[in-house]
Amino acid sequence: MRSLELAVMGGAWIATISGCESTYLDGVVPGSVAEQAACRPGEVTCEETCTDLTKDPANCGACGQACASGEVCSVGRCEASCLEGLDPCAGSCVDLATDADHCGSCDQPCLGVSHCEAGQCSCPVPLVECGSSCVDVLSDTQHCGGCDQPCSDAETCVEGRCRCPGNATYCDGRCVNTNNSHEHCGDCNNPCPPASSCVQGLCS
């Protein structure tokens, strides 16, 4: 039978699960590469579902170890109440200041890659929150330089500015080659006469 022992070292919770020779720091249990990639840091898989053994009342301290009615899962142990500094949320004892599933209050999850800091969902630097997503405004073509500032289909976002590929120039909402564009010969909005053509940026 497995048992869970908890201790504090250097300000971090260290838990040892006996019976399976596994020791983890802050709830991170060594597992397969696929398991670690699929779950968030601090989570493990129990019946193919990612969970945090330190706060899940259905898997408190170990997979399948459920807390009884009226108990809460507090730092991997089923208790009558939460430890000081933690709040009960649906049977889980959480820190509302940092818990991404209960940020600021119970059942207020942070979406996408945002995390909870001081009870507020925020995007990790250098990402910016645009709607419900965290994006890099330096390279995102839909939010180039700021939220809801899309580039045209042919453009790319480089260092927060929409740029045309190669030697193309952005004219009238599209990327054109001013060396041979009849409407933008040599520069934007510099059309050639009807009977001429644009060669090397000159009407001839």
What residues contact 129, with CB distance under 8 A and at least 6 apart? 114, 121, 122, 123
Per-residue pLDDT band for 41 (boundaries 50, 70, 90) equals confident
Per-residue pLDDT band for 85 (boundaries 50, 70, 90) equals very high
What are the angstrom distances between the C-alpha of 202 and each of 6, 165, 180, 186, 188? Answer: 78, 21, 8, 6, 13
Q: List phi, psi (to 5°) of 36.
A: -65, -35
Residue 97 has pLDDT above 90, yes or no: yes
Which is more confidently placed, 149 or 34? 149
Residue 88 has pLDDT above 70, yes or no: yes
Give the predicted TM-score (pTM) of the model.
Answer: 0.49
SS3 for 129? strand
Q: Where are the alpha helices (DSSP H) in 10-164?
A: 33-38
Question: What residue segments make up the domains of the chain, in order of their start?
Answer: 3-79, 82-122, 123-163
pLDDT of residue 148: 94
Per-residue pLDDT band for 131 (boundaries 50, 70, 90) equals confident
pLDDT of residue 38: 67
